[in-house]
Chains A and B, each alone.
Chain A
Amino acid sequence: MSLFEAKNVTKQFGSFTALDNVSISVPEQCIYGLLGPNGAGKTTLIRIINQITGPDSGELFLNEKKLMPEDVMTIGYLPEERGLYRKMKVGEEALYFAQLKGLSKSEAMKRLKYWFKKLDMVDWWNKKVEELSKGMQQKVQFITTILHEPKLIIFDEPFTGFDPVNANTIKNEILFLRERGATIIFSTHNMASVEELCDNITLINKGKTILEGRVDEIRNKWAGSEYELVFLGDVKLRENGHFKVLSQTFENGKSSIRLVAVSKLSTNEILNDAMNSGKIISFNPALPSMNEIFIRVVESRN
């Protein structure tokens, strides 16, 4: 069952088409990657989901019911370009955003205390926002995004501005939120985090969907012509008509070589060539990284 669904969404700004017949279906309790190069239309789609702007045509469903204005209460949104009122005190500001999401003051207070304690921010309550570092401000904003316990949370580049320790804290919180039943739409350019976190993805380019599905299925589908060969010792493999070398590394007395076969039938030829080059430890089909898939798919479309 999908928690959120967009069907045939189109949005134009004047003569510019930001979204052209885009559909996505986000299963419940999954982390859904929304990928695409800059200016692809991701932010427009996110704004439509948040009902900041409306689509020109197309339909949106939450829990299989038409998306209604009051549904903003069950959606949490952390925009990429984020900011807080700089002159306000941290606690007051967090309370303000919680109240805008419909929480009562006392309920918001209770939950804020829990989160400030959990993320080790209790001392910040009476500080002004402008006194905090950028990473600290991001943490405040993260809390304001999830405080009303939304069913659907949209994170746009949630890790920028965090040091590795805090990025890890936030990552664990995101996984924890999913465990507790939240569904997450996750927009990013960081493909390593996509592989790590996302169950499903949609790749948008120039306002159109060009790739979608489960991450593991996509990677398997794009695999097949790529292999990883490991030799004992420092071995250099020369390219020939059967394969192309993608990368070669030598580490701990082993050489790892990634190569791509020219055709499905050439694996035996590759092994023949390899056997003559040195001692083989392993030969496996390699799953392409999301990064590679991203680049290849987008470039083939341009």
Chain B
Amino acid sequence: MNKVSVIIKREYLTRVRKKSFLIMTILAPLLMASLIVVMPLMMVSGSKDHKKIAVIEEGSNIFKNVIPNTKDEDFVYLTDVNKNDLLKTFDADGYYGILYIVPEAINAPVLFSKNQPAIGLIEHISSSLEKEIEKKKLQEYNIENLDSILKQIRTNVNLKTNIVDESGGTTQTSTGISMALAYIGGFLMYMLVFMFGAQVMRGVIEEKVSRVVEVVVSSVKPIQLMMGKIIGVALVGLTQFMIWVILTMGAVAILKTTVLKKTDMTEITQNMTQSIMTENQTPAPASATQANAMSPEMQEFSRLFDNAMNQNWPLIILSFIFYFITGYLLYASVFAAIGSAVDNETETQQFMLPVTIPIILGLVVAMGTMQNPESPLAFWFSLIPFTSPIVMMARIPFGVPAWQLIVSMSLMVVTFLVFVWMAAKVYRTGILMYGKKASWKEIWKWLRYSG
């Protein structure tokens, strides 16, 4: 056993000392952090490029000032301008585009612009016009006190979801948070298993090609070398992962206090408040008055934050570690067997396909799982050991019955033990075979060799 630790140490240290490890370890969290900080920043304060849109109504002024300005777009209502004239000059005049409304074809306005407009802008215009048209049509019925009736009718529905546990207690959850966690969990699992599994394979090929392996196996058993390598690489993976988590948290904190401070949070807040207020012209329902001290987006944020905290974090983290270790062991042992069977990396391709397919299938099913976490497809693929690490990670944030988790984990353990055992047999023969083009038939033969 002492020898295995010598091997683990070498595998670990040579990888951790590599420049590429250092670069990956530093760059990845920087990229992650910039994504986390820059993306919302762009969403919130992306109004630098303010658009002006001219609204021309042919022969009437029903829609004057109907379309509210948003944080990105101003709507300028022009009365004494000819559409065809403006079409030639609107770009130079500083307009992003022209909204052209003809009363005779009220439900078919046209937006002229140089570029394809964003989907948000189109929806904003359509819904504003639709509301106005509906209002106009209602007015034709001559209902008394129409305005106050309309105000009374308008309702904001904010569907909250609650999960009921066995004891009848309820926890508020958010499907959005669950989806995000499912996505991150499934994708991270896929990435880690694949990346570090392939590293094991390259390590095995390196040893075989450089002929080091024969000296090593005259000192230790092939299975000791294989397991030492697999465990060493796993530790590299865990180290990198831990550094990423810590660095990402640190980088986010730093960027938050520097970049976000400079762009003046209050301004952003005001912008957002305005846009929210103008979009929902009516004030918030009376029940929300007690929370009025908080700005709406802070309210939303704290609600999301509470919901995120309501997730079963210990279960998510423990399952992630469990599925990473077992899933990695399963695939890394297969990768090690493949590496031992070939003479160079290009030869691995014929063996890679059958290994890659279940991993990718797992990822595809996991992405589908987010739409419907309880579908039969998600159920079966979260039990089948080859796909279960990825699919189960995508299911857990939505809640999984305990028995399914237990069945899936037990199957995983049994399968990885069988695969490590089989891989060791192939590996033992493969690493000492040179020049023979390995085929599936050949590998099947190696599996049955004794001693």
Contacts and interface: CB of A to CB of B under 8 A. Distances in A.
A77 interface: yes
B10 A79 contact: no
A47 B219 contact: no
Contacts of A102: 2-3
A53 B210 contact: no
Interface residues of A, number: 31
Contacts of A85: 14, 206-207, 210, 212
B218 A50 contact: yes
Interface stretch (A1-9, A92-100, A246-254, A284-292): A92-100
A149 to B, nearest CB: 14
A53 B450 CA distance: 9
A69 B449 CA distance: 19
A86 B216 CA distance: 15
Nearest to B214: A79
A87 B222 CA distance: 22
A82 interface: yes
Given A13-B449, A88-B14, A83 B212 contact: yes
B6 A99 contact: yes
A100 B220 contact: yes
A100 B450 contact: no
Contact of A82 (B3, B215, B219): B215
Given A54-B451, A56-B450, A100-B6, A83 B219 contact: no
Nearest to B225: A100
B210 A86 contact: yes
A84 interface: yes
Nearest to A53: B451
B218 A97 contact: no
Nearest to A145: B215
B6 A52 contact: no
A69 B221 CA distance: 9
B154 interface: no
Contacts of B449: 13
B151 interface: no
Most chain A CB inside 10 Å of its own CB: which residue of B206, B217, B221: B217
Interface string A36-60: 0000000000010011111110000
Interface string B3-14: 100110010001
Given A77-B218, A100-B6, A100-B220, A84 B445 contact: no
B180 to A, nearest CB: 40
A172 B245 CA distance: 58
Interface string B199-240: 000000011001110111111111000000000000000000
A13 B430 CA distance: 13
B214 A52 contact: yes
Given A14-B445, A87-B14, A81 B219 contact: no
B211 A79 contact: yes
Contacts of A100: 3, 6-7, 216, 219-220
B contact residues, range = 20 to 34
Interface in A1-35: 13-14
A141 B211 CA distance: 12
Contacts of B214: 52, 79, 81-82
A96 B218 contact: no
Contacts of A86: 210
B6 to A, nearest CB: 5
A144 interface: yes
Nearest to B207: A85
Contacts of A88: 14
A101 interface: yes
A99 B214 CA distance: 16
A159 B42 CA distance: 68
A75 interface: yes
A32 B214 CA distance: 21
Contacts of B7: 100
A174 B219 CA distance: 21
Interface in B222-271: 222
A280 interface: no
Nearest to B428: A53
B377 interface: no
A72 B215 contact: no
Contact of A72 (B10, B218, B445): B218
Interface of A: 13-14, 47, 50-56, 69, 72, 75, 77, 79, 81-88, 96-97, 99-102, 141, 144
28 contacts: A47-B432, A51-B218, A52-B214, A52-B217, A52-B432, A53-B432, A54-B450, A56-B450, A79-B211, A79-B214, A79-B218, A81-B434, A82-B214, A83-B215, A85-B206, A85-B207, A85-B210, A85-B212, A87-B14, A96-B6, A96-B10, A99-B3, A99-B6, A100-B3, A100-B6, A100-B7, A100-B220, A102-B2
Nearest 6 pairs of A and B residues by beta carbon: A54-B451, A83-B211, A83-B210, A100-B219, A50-B218, A77-B218
Given A54-B450, A81-B434, A99-B6, 17 more contacts: A51-B218, A52-B214, A52-B217, A53-B451, A54-B451, A72-B218, A72-B219, A75-B218, A82-B215, A83-B212, A84-B210, A85-B206, A87-B14, A88-B14, A97-B215, A100-B219, A101-B219
